[in-house]
Amino acid sequence: MTLDIAGDHALTLLRDMIRIRRLEEKSAELYSKQKIRGFLHLYIGEEAVGVGAMHALREDDNVVATYREHGQALLRGIPAGEIMAEMYGKANGCSGGRGGSMHLFSAKRNFYGGHAIVGGGLPIAVGLALADKLRGESRITACFFGDGATDEGEFHESLNLAALWKLPVLFLCENNEYAMGTELSRHVADRNIANNPPAYGVPADSVNGMDVVAVERAVHNEAELVRETSMPRFLELKTYRFRAHSMYDAELYRSKEEVAEHRKDDPIEGFQAKLFDEGLITQADVDAIEADAANEIADAVDFAERGEWEPVEEITRHTYARDLS
């Protein structure tokens, strides 16, 4: 099958997937060196979802994401250095070192986090869309969450409320087959997650989340339908996490063989191979992308290393608009 995609755009998609993967690999390395602490959830294996989806959204659309959000944050335009510095806990991080890996934010880019409570971001997305509707804004709100979130009451409540109030929310379910360590068939009665939303009047579809071009196309179509109709829609992105859930995870719940099988479907290697087949890229292109990514990540680490620690005297800052003490 031919790709039906312009060469320079194909290159952009490949570049962005590689940028995310290199950022994540470096993060894992820095975690083992104890530069990054706390929970660290890597996006490796799921890059096509974030890259395809973020390219399909408009710049002023709202984005609400999960604790596995480094990729979305990077593509929203938060500089890699600010992401890295945030993971270091430095004051020059994108959340001032108060959020860490799971709570990346950017007000000027309409990036509303970074949420660690599974399903907790969905009502927030509904509310952002309500604010836009009441003010007559044309933007939509894209809300990322995992398959585990579909178990939560807030998922069902949010679909119902968004449909009832006709709110422009695009629900993007990153189905990586595991709610932390619990496989899909052990946490949902119906493995076909897209069966749920139509019961609430929310149209739903699924797409291969390992295919960046398919993701971009599907998310673009869904996003524009949400915009036109001011009605919520749901898209399941079928993907797979290659690495552990977090750095604490010993992966006792799945076999190495299963992971190896999925790795054959690597979104980056697969896409790169296709682009070579179609003659859309050369080895020199790939080398340049890798070199740029390596530089970007090296600069990011340097930025984080050079960052200052927030003075302890400032600890209560940002608890309230004005200090209450």
Partner 1 sequence: MTTYRDAVRTALQTLLREDERVFFMGEDVGRYGGPYAVSKGLLAEFGEERVRDTPLCESTFVGAGIGAALGGMRPIVEVMTVNFSLLALDQVVNNAAAMRHMSGGQFQVPIAVRMATGGGKQIAAQHSHSLENWYAHVPGIKVLAPATVQDAHDMLLAAVEDPDPVFVFEHQMLYGIDGELDTSGTPPSPWKAVVRRAGTDLSIIAYGGSLHKALGAADELDKVGISAEVVDLRSLRPLDRETILDSVRRTHRAVVVDEAWKTGSLASEISAILAEHAFYDLDAPIERVCTLEVPIPYAKHLEEAAIPQVGRIVEAARRSMGDG
Q: Does 112 bind partner 1 (CB under 8 A)?
A: yes
Question: CB 244 → partner 1: shortest distance, Å?
Answer: 24
Query: Are residues 110 and 103 in contact, defined by beta-carbon separation less than 8 angstroms?
Result: no
- Residues near partner 1 (CB under 8 A), total: 46
Q: Does 295 bind partner 1 (CB under 8 A)?
A: no
Q: Restricting to residues 145-184, which ones interact with partner 1 according to CB under 8 A? A: 153-154, 157-158, 160-161, 164-165
Concatenated DSSP letters of 179-194: ETTEEHHHH-SSS-GG
Which of 14, 23, 56, 122: binder of partner 1 (CB under 8 A)?
Answer: 122
Binding mask 130-149 for partner 1 (x = CB under 8 A): xxx-xx--------------
Which of 95, 101, 175, 272: binder of partner 1 (CB under 8 A)?
Answer: 95
Q: Restricting to residues 177-236, which ones interact with partner 1 according to CB under 8 A? A: none
Question: CB 297 → partner 1: shortest distance, Å?
Answer: 22
Query: Are residues 27 and 90 in contact, defined by beta-carbon separation less than 8 angstroms?
Result: no
Which residues lie below 8 Å from residue 290, measured CB to CB, with a gap of 6+?
Answer: 18, 22
Give Cα separations from 175 to 17, 24, 54, 183, 239 (angstroms): 18, 19, 17, 11, 6
CA distance 263 to 261: 5
**CB closer to partner 1 out of 43 and 112:** 112
Question: CB 294 → partner 1: shortest distance, Å?
Answer: 28
**CB closer to partner 1 out of 45 and 93:** 93
Q: Does 311 bind partner 1 (CB under 8 A)?
A: no
Quickly count: other Cβ atoms within 10 Å of residue 304's Cβ.
24
Phi/psi of residue 34, nearest 5 degrees: 65, 20
**CB closer to partner 1 out of 283 and 325:** 325
Helix (H, G, I), strand (E, B) or coil at 75: helix
**CB closer to partner 1 out of 145 and 240:** 145
**CB closer to partner 1 out of 157 and 278:** 157
Question: CB 235 → partner 1: shortest distance, Å?
Answer: 20
CA distance 18 to 134: 39
Helix (H, G, I), strand (E, B) or coil at 105: coil
Of the candidates 222, 152, 236, the one whose C-alpha atom is nearest the C-alpha of residue 193 is 236
Which residues lie below 8 Å from residue 113, measured CB to CB, with a gap of 6+?
Answer: 64, 65, 69, 99, 103, 104, 105, 121
Task: Candidates 1-9, 112-120, 228-236, 298-306: pick the segment binding partner 1 (CB under 8 A).
Answer: 112-120
* Site for partner 1, rule CB under 8 A: 62, 93-99, 103, 105-107, 112-117, 120, 122-132, 134-135, 153-154, 157-158, 160-161, 164-165, 317-321, 324
